[in-house]
Structure 1
Amino acid sequence: MKVGLFIPCYVDQFYPKVGIATYELLIKLGCDVRFPMKQTCCGQPMANSGYQHLTKGCDANFIANFSEFDYIVCPSGSCVLHVKDHLHDEKQEDLAAAMRKKVFELTEFITDVLKVDHIEGNFPHKVGMHVSCHGQRGLKLSQMTELNAPFFSKPEQLLSNIKGLDLVALTRKDECCGFGGTFCVTEEAVSVKMGQDRIRDHEKHDVDYITGGDMSCLMHLEGILKRQKSNIKTIHIAEILNSGIK
């Protein structure tokens, strides 16, 4: 199984340890993982701002870097959803269409492709799970609480056997953190207030860490936590899962 590791540009620049944890985790799970060195931004920031027509170069570069792989795996639901929905190339549209089906978010890939339903490990901390909107509502990584349907969560399923990890039940389980990509720039005040509300829910449950599958959301929450001088830390789910496998 030849896997191309797709690392979002902000993770590469600001949170490289998340990329390393993802790489190590996939290796430990038996994958042949490669990191294309010429990969760049997938184009999501431009598309979110209404400039989809400016992402053609990003699309062409993505195809050039990842076309050889059986699967493309990324520790970010928002970037994966963007590629699944928007990867196109006028000169190679059949190839682009095939690649859109091979892109997976990390926990989705582990549960749905590798068929791993739990990971043994040790993380003796009280943890709150932040469910990112793109992963939940776009990729269906977990059930939306407003639906009258059986609950499921692929990330929580993987965390369930981590020894010592106390995963709390939040009051508003799938509320948006307010990051929203460029929304946090154009609507800063609203974005910050939403982030503060999200943190307050975790604070009420006295968590040590906030985890999630999108480092962009965690980055937003981390900034607010630091300004509030909070003791709560953020950690990507890949870091928790990777720490548990020897």
Structure 2
Amino acid sequence: MKVELFIPCFVDQIYPQTAFNTIKILEKAGCEVSYNSKQTCCGQPSYNAGYWEQAKEIGSKFLTDFSEQKYIVSPSASCVGMVKNGFNDLFTNSMVHNKCRNIQSHIYELSDFLINVVKKDYFGAELEGKAVYHDSCSALRECKIKEEPRRLLEKVHGLEMSEMKDTDMCCGFGGTFAVKFDSISSAMAEQKVNNALEMGADYMISTDLSCLMHIDGYIKKKNLPLKTMHLADVLANGWLESTPY
């Protein structure tokens, strides 16, 4: 199965190891992964800020950078959600309408792809400790992902998963929301972290590094005993170098 890898801007610039782990997981699942180094942004920051013309320009490049036939997989439900939903506002009834629809039907967040397309939920990962899962707004509401990451995490050796209170409540990031409404955003992160600590969690795991970046900022500021991890980093954790694909 041939797969094109879509790595969002902030993953490329801040969390490149998650991108490499995504490749490792896809290859272990039997996929042939290709990466177009000319790819850039999906246009979500401009779109969310109301600059739709700029978002359309960036989105048009996205539609050029990726193919209509192959699966496109990304370790970000937020950016996948933008393509699946935000692109409707930008390209419906345009000259690239059909191309956009084809790409929308082939793009997947990582856990959604592994469970529903590849149909594989075990990768031999190991991680000791207790963990909670954070449902990002984009994963839950835009990509309709809920059980997929939980099924994958259940198969991680040594990891004890618990459901925290208000797991589907926003963490407070929301892109520019965190900048424009700093106090509200911080209070939402505080609530999310406190809910995790009440469960005795060592880790908070999610499909979205944007959420985890925001939550981790609060954790480090308060020097709290909680770590954040992206799903891909968990699934690639504990592998032996000699483990065959």
**TM-score of the pair, normalised by structure 1:** 0.91
Distance change in 2, residues 1:69/1:32 (3 Å): farther
Matched, 1:203 2:197: yes
Matched, 1:238 2:242: no
Partner secondary structure for residue 164 of structure 1: strand
* Offset of residue 68 of structure 1: 5.6
2:100 counterpart residue number: 96
Aligned AA for 2:131?
Answer: V
Q: Partners in 1 of 2:159 and 2:125 — Cα distance?
A: 9
Tell me if structure 2 keeps the 8 A contact 1:127–1:211. Answer: yes
Q: Partners in 2 of 1:163 and 1:24 — Cα distance?
A: 18
Partner secondary structure for residue 124 of structure 1: strand
Matched, 1:158 2:142: no
Q: How does 1:1-246 map to 2 (within 5 A)?
A: 1-67=1-67, 69-87=69-87, 88-89=90-91, 90-142=94-146, 153-243=147-237, 246=243
Tell me if structure 2 keeps the 8 A contact 1:119–1:159. Answer: no
Aligned AA for 2:139?
Answer: G
Tell me if structure 1 keeps the 8 A contact 2:38–2:65. Answer: yes
1:146 counterpart residue number: none
Q: Partners in 2 of 1:64 and 1:28 — Cα distance?
A: 28
Tell me if structure 2 keeps the 8 A contact 1:2–1:69. Answer: no
The one-character-per-residue Cα deviations of 1:121-150 (angstroms, maximum 9, x if unpaired) are 2111111111101101121111xxxxxxxx
Percent of aligned pairs sharing the same letter: 38
Tell me if structure 1 keeps the 8 A contact 2:2–2:71. Answer: yes
Tell me if structure 1 keeps the 8 A contact 2:4–2:73. Answer: yes
Partner secondary structure for residue 24 of structure 2: helix
> Which piece of structure 1 moves more, 102-111 or 114-123?
114-123
The one-character-per-residue Cα deviations of 1:183-231 (angstroms, maximum 9, x if unpaired) are 1111111111000110000111121111100000000001000100112
* Offset of residue 166 of structure 1: 0.7
Partner secondary structure for residue 226 of structure 1: helix
**TM-score of the pair, normalised by structure 2:** 0.92
* Offset of residue 244 of structure 1: 5.1
Tell me if structure 2 keeps the 8 A contact 1:67–1:99. Answer: yes
* Offset of residue 182 of structure 1: 1.4
Q: Partners in 2 of 1:193 and 1:44 — Cα distance?
A: 24
Partner secondary structure for residue 128 of structure 2: coil
